[in-house]
Structure 1
Amino acid sequence: MNYNQHKPMKTPGLSPVKPNHRIQILDIWRGFAVLGIFVVNIEIMNVVFMNQDVFSEQSSGPFDTVILRISQLFFYNKFFPIFSFLFGLGIAMQLEKLKLKKKNIIFMLKRMLFLWIIGILHILLVWGGDVIHLYAILGVFICYLYRLRKRCLLILATYFLLFPFYDLIAEYIFSWINFSPEKVLANYDFNAVTEILRNGTYTEALNFRILEYFSNLPVLLIALAPIAFSMMLYGAAFVRSGQLLNLENFIFKSKKTFIWLAIITNMYRLIFLFILPNFDMYRDDFFNPIWFKLMVISDTFFGVFYIWLIAWLWFTGKLTGVLSAFQSVGKMALSNYILQSIIGVIIFNGIGFSLYQKLSLAQCFFTAIGIFIFQVILSEIWLQYFKFGPLEWCWRCLSYGKLFSIKKERS
């Protein structure tokens, strides 16, 4: 499987907390991740996985090549780990609050159940590239594993990140249940998919997207789930260690470590892109999975570097005006990422502008940036009048089993 082509799918933000108890940097991290995720996912909305090779051969230009390299170095596979880390961190924070209130874990299990339902509805009604339901399932395990000591959490996180045999396990399971993901879309070719998504009805496009979800199960289970689970465990361990309570000091003390992390991981990315393909061992059946595994690990830890870098800029007072713009989007991360899916359907499918496979890589990139700027403005306006994003409010009410006021009191 070519993990370099399998880009991260959408993912949710952290569990909502009371507005007056929010940690600003967490919202900034979320908002930054919302931008990065959409830069990647808009390409999948424009061209589904099964059509990407043919499309790139037909439409790649010099400027697209530059954008591709930028995306490979700074976007692909970097933001999914950030969301996963923050999700695990958010669950751990909620569990610590439950401890103080002497409440049991049932509340968190309810939250994960309703998050799973939101994810399934996202798949059924909007877009098949959802991982919210996966996050909800993995979140249940995090709720129970958080009882372990920090060292145990770190060992488990590292094990799940480095474990090399996910492909073989998935192949065995699919064979055992007689499921063949590649046969799910056997009746669709390049032209048929293009016609359905560009000019078809909402129902036709939706039916295809659901089938596409099942055909992409290997990506979900082999490429995404292990990274998500390991990073959730790292996030939980970070809370367990107490470093979150002394975050500013941790950020300054770890400067050299994270700079070296960025240098080493991006050096491997450059080697992977420009040097390794020139050697036969890159294509060797034994070594090829190793190179890709190292690439996934490098991208994951470069995403961790992003987390550190944003916090360092924030605590040193650099670019605070720019970083503050991410905060409002981060407060409504769940609503904003669902909104991105809705906007994508309108842009690319037949119910909207029918631009499926009509945008170049560069046009997708700048469209994502433009839409994110729109989301910054919209989020700022929304939060002037309301306490929560609309989906955050729904999730909160369902989790607590009561109706909260969403409007801000006007003085």
Structure 2
Amino acid sequence: MNHRVAGFDIARALAIFGMVIVNFKIAMNAETGSPLLMSFAHLFEGRASAVFVILAGIGITFMTDKARVSSDSQYIYKSRVSLIKRGLLLIFIGLLYTPIWQADILHFYGFYFLIASVFFMFNNRTLLLLSAVIVLVFPVLMLFFNYGQNWNWGTFVYENFWSIDGMVRHILFNGFHPIFPWAAFLLFGIWLGRQDLTQQAVRKKLLLGSMVSLVLIEVAFYFIKLSIGDGALLEMTEDEVNFLFSISIIPPLPQYMISAASSAVITIVGCLYFSDKFSESKIHKWLCQTGKLSLTLYVAHVIIGMGMLEYLGLLVNQTIDFSLFSALIFCVCGIIFSVIWLKYFKAGPLEWLFRKCAS
């Protein structure tokens, strides 16, 4: 499989669009407006970022493929050093970025890369087993540690982040995308990247399996919550029922991880099918170009997108209608910028800088 797969770039573009929708909604505290649009925005919460992390795992497979196939110690060493460099750089950039945008995923990304530097040579079965273990460790941690510590749920702000205890908890356990269990998405992505996704039979198997698991999880937990009701029979509060039996990103319980991974596989495989069928279309080219600038656009949607809205006094307490409209404008501008930029340069500005620093 060519290491630059157009379908993956399209999936990156869609993941960025989804993250823009979610983050604009959070930043604007958009909790009023059209119920239909609110439901639409809710579809992307915890899903777009999962696609992003799984695609990073696929990218790591391509980066380390020569080392894995050859088992040459020199290639393995170079791949490991490259992953560590990239991880440390992402941690550095992410921590610089966190004061501007507390829900940053880049510093978490960096720690995922450090984990990948240890496990990228493991076989497929071990990768899936490690993914499952990481997912299952999280609810065990919840039994011993207070998941809500340092969280101000009223303002959705993580306090005491810059303390040692706060940072360790944030990164490992109760931040926006903690290692336990989010690193499982990356290891799963490494496994997924090793599958021959050029084969229709492989795609169909993954697509069918993901659809079945997604439907089963969503339906099962819908009826579980319905049967429990307000939780009185189990001596639980309604908030506790919603907390423990939800399929939302907070907390990232196993049911969320399975559901989000399933929807991510559906998205990625769907993008591969789209790329095959519409490879000559302009929208295909535009989305591919946008996906190639995913890092640049991720940083820009906060610094430029939200920065401009804040300058205009339009960032806080907006309706979901305005939030989605703003996200749409940014995404369209992102596509236009990507297409124009790549006419003159081979890589996006931050992508180029990242490769230079991590090489």
- Contact between 1:38 and 1:340, CA under 8 Å: does it hold in 2? yes
- Counterpart position of 1:129: 103
Query: Residue 210 of structure 2 is aligned with which of 245, 258, 268?
Result: 258
User: What pairs up with 1:101-180 in 2 under 5 angstroms?
Assistant: 102-103=74-75, 104=77, 105-124=80-99, 126-163=100-137, 164-171=139-146
- Counterpart position of 2:177: 224
CA drift of 1:312 comes to 2.7
User: What pairs up with 1:145-294 in 2 under 5 angstroms?
Assistant: 145-163=119-137, 164-171=139-146, 181-182=150-151, 221-222=173-174, 224-225=177-178, 226-239=180-193, 242-244=194-196, 246=198, 248-267=200-219, 275=226, 278-280=229-231, 284=236, 289-292=243-246, 293=253, 294=255
- Counterpart position of 2:19: 37
Structure 2: distance between partners of 1:85 and 1:247? 20
CA drift of 1:210 comes to 8.9
Query: Residue 90 of structure 1 is aligned with which of 59, 63, 70?
Result: 59
- Counterpart position of 1:328: 289
Alpha-carbon displacement from aligned partner over 1:361-407 (angstroms, at most 9, x marks no partner): 1211121122101100110000000011001111111112xxxxxxx
Alpha-carbon displacement from aligned partner over 1:303-327 (angstroms, at most 9, x marks no partner): 3322222223333449965444321
CA drift of 1:288 comes to 5.0
- Contact between 2:230 and 2:241, CA under 8 Å: does it hold in 1? no
Opposite residue 342 of structure 1, the aligned amino acid is I
Report the CA distance shift for 1:247/1:111 in structure 2 as closer, same or farther (over 3 A).
Answer: farther
Are 2:260 and 1:299 aligned? Answer: yes
- Counterpart position of 1:398: 357
Opposite residue 319 of structure 2, the aligned amino acid is S
Opposite residue 230 of structure 1, the aligned amino acid is A
- Contact between 2:217 and 2:259, CA under 8 Å: does it hold in 1? yes
Structure 2: distance between partners of 1:329 and 1:287? 40
Report the CA distance shift for 1:271/1:224 in structure 2 as closer, same or farther (over 3 A).
Answer: farther
CA drift of 1:138 comes to 2.0
Structure 1: distance between partners of 2:61 and 2:191? 8
Opposite residue 306 of structure 2, the aligned amino acid is V
Unaligned residue ranges in structure 1 (runs of 5+): 1-19, 48-54, 175-179, 194-208, 401-411
- Counterpart position of 1:377: 336
- Counterpart position of 2:326: 367
Opposite residue 89 of structure 1, the aligned amino acid is I
- Counterpart position of 2:303: 342
Are 2:272 and 1:311 aligned? Answer: yes
Alpha-carbon displacement from aligned partner over 1:81-134 (angstroms, at most 9, x marks no partner): 11111112222221224556833122221121112222122124x322212111
Structure 1: distance between partners of 2:278 and 2:217? 27
Structure 1: distance between partners of 2:206 and 2:199? 11
Opposite residue 69 of structure 1, the aligned amino acid is S
Opposite residue 108 of structure 1, the aligned amino acid is L
Alpha-carbon displacement from aligned partner over 1:227-251 (angstroms, at most 9, x marks no partner): 4211111111223xx3146455421
Alpha-carbon displacement from aligned partner over 1:279-302 (angstroms, at most 9, x marks no partner): 436982675554133345323422
Structure 2: distance between partners of 1:398 and 1:169? 40
TM-score by length of 1: 0.71
CA drift of 1:277 comes to 8.0
Opposite residue 275 of structure 2, the aligned amino acid is W
Structure 2: distance between partners of 1:379 and 1:287? 44
Query: Residue 67 of structure 1 is aligned with which of 27, 34, 37?
Result: 37
Structure 2: distance between partners of 1:257 and 1:243? 14
Opposite residue 14 of structure 2, the aligned amino acid is F
Unaligned residue ranges in structure 2 (runs of 5+): 247-252
- What is the CA RMSD across the aligned residues, in angstroms? 3.5
- Contact between 2:11 and 2:271, CA under 8 Å: does it hold in 1? yes
Are 2:13 and 1:23 aligned? Answer: no
User: What is the number of residues matched between the two proteins?
Assistant: 335
CA drift of 1:167 comes to 2.4
- Contact between 1:80 and 1:228, CA under 8 Å: does it hold in 2? no
TM-score by length of 2: 0.80
Report the CA distance shift for 1:330/1:210 in structure 2 as closer, same or farther (over 3 A).
Answer: same
SS of the residue corresponding to residue 388 of structure 1 reads coil
Aligned-residue sequence identity (percent) comes to: 22
CA drift of 1:139 comes to 1.2
CA drift of 1:145 comes to 1.2
- Contact between 2:11 and 2:291, CA under 8 Å: does it hold in 1? yes
